[in-house]
Amino acid sequence: MLKGRQSWQFDTNPVIVSAATVGGPFEGKGPLAEDFDVIFDDIWLGQDSFEKAEQKLLENACNIAMDKAGLKPEDITFFLSGDLMNQIISSSFTARRLGIPYMGLFGACSSSMEGLALACKLLDNSGARYVLAATSSHNAASEKQYRYPTEYGAQKPPTAQWTVTGAGAVIIGKDGPGPVITGTTIGRVVDMGVSDPFNMGAAMAPAAVDTIENHFNDFGIDSDYYDLIATGDLGFTGYTIAKELFKKKGIKIAENVYTDCGILIYGQNPVVFSGGSGCGCSATVTYGHLLNRMKKGEIRRMLIVATGALLSPMSYQQKETIPCIAHAVSFEMS
């Protein structure tokens, strides 16, 4: 049911039946390595291109999620997926192999929560029995598409982020171990005039804050409601800006409640500059690390706000600013 201006409250409480995450070699060296189902030690995954490797990541995450739930592709009503490649080839080519009725999404790195929100809405309206929602990204494939191929050796400023090589998938159904998805807030596009593709965190922070503010207003709650609020991939730069924006808007969020998946995934590793990013960032951290913490009872309610920079290489070469979006999904352990 519609709640407030731009949110859905799910009355039937769609449940996470299973979740799966896979990562690349670099993620396997990070602080969250234990939370991945599979870590691949070869960035090529045995394929002859980085794009094919990304498809392999996504396919693996989907298959592991189905295995964990004891479901086959025939049991899944719909597959919703998005990624960063041109024409979302990673998602569509994975759908070709899975054979599940499919809808492709593009919300850049916000695709993870966009897919999950839509999956829950489909289920809430009795429009599906099981929905598989997934996203993926691959560091080298993204660098090649959005910036420079890594072998070109271009310099990066300290505000740049490191695209996560990984994929996350969840299956949503009516019964399962949980947690349940109670509501979602769909974000609007916010563009504060940042045009530097090496500073996505700063570009996306206002969109995240806008969605969080609207989420609180729509549901009539404040940040105390949640044990944890995590933005998708703002990194250290964007995280700092988001905290300042909260202060400016008078939104109080405790230091130990608010975090960012882009910071969690690699910790303080200076190699990644400002932190992690990409569709795989919020997906792997949420469906791996954070769901595990919920299952352990460390978190009862959490809000994931996946952030996306909706630029294309063409748009920034033509000196356009970067429009950004954020979608919030609320998880609760019943």
Partner 1 sequence: MEKLIWAFLVGGSICAIGQVMMDVFRMTPAHTMTTLVVAGAVLGGLGLYEPLIEFAGAGATIPISSFGNSLLKGALSEAKRNGIIGVLTGIFEITSAGISAAIIFGFIASLIFKPKG
Tell the smallest beta-carbon distance from residue 281 to partner 1 (Å).
Answer: 16
Q: Which of 12, 86, 125, 150 contacts partner 1 by CB under 8 A?
A: 150
Applying the rule CB under 8 A, the residues between 278 and 317 that interact with partner 1 are: none
CA gap 169, 205 in Å, rounded:
25
Rule CB under 8 A: is residue 154 a binding residue for partner 1? yes
Applying the rule CB under 8 A, the residues between 195 and 234 that interact with partner 1 are: 196
Rule CB under 8 A: is residue 254 a binding residue for partner 1? no
CA gap 123, 172 in Å, rounded:
8
In this structure, which amino acid lies at residue 9?
Answer: Q
CA gap 25, 166 in Å, rounded:
10
Q: What would the x/- binding string for partner 1 be over residues 118 to 147, using CB under 8 A?
A: ---------------------xx--x----
Tell the smallest beta-carbon distance from residue 87 to partner 1 (Å).
Answer: 22
- Please choose, out of 150-158, 174-182, 220-228, 256-264, the segment that lies near partner 1 by the rule CB under 8 A: 150-158
CA gap 158, 273 in Å, rounded:
5
- In the complex with partner 1, the residue whose CB is nearer, 35 or 143, is 143
Applying the rule CB under 8 A, the residues between 15 and 44 that interact with partner 1 are: 43-44
Rule CB under 8 A: is residue 157 a binding residue for partner 1? yes
CA gap 36, 197 in Å, rounded:
29
What are the start-end ranges of the H helices in the chain? 50-69, 89-98, 111-124, 139-146, 200-219, 235-249, 261-264, 279-284, 291-295, 313-317
**Residue-wise over 5-26: b if at least 16 C-beta within 10 A, else e?**
ebbbebeebbbbbbbbbbbbeb
CB of 184 within 8 A of CB of 225? no
Tell the smallest beta-carbon distance from residue 37 to partner 1 (Å).
Answer: 21
| Contact footprint for partner 1 (CB under 8 A) | 43-44, 50, 139-140, 143, 148-152, 154-155, 157, 165, 196
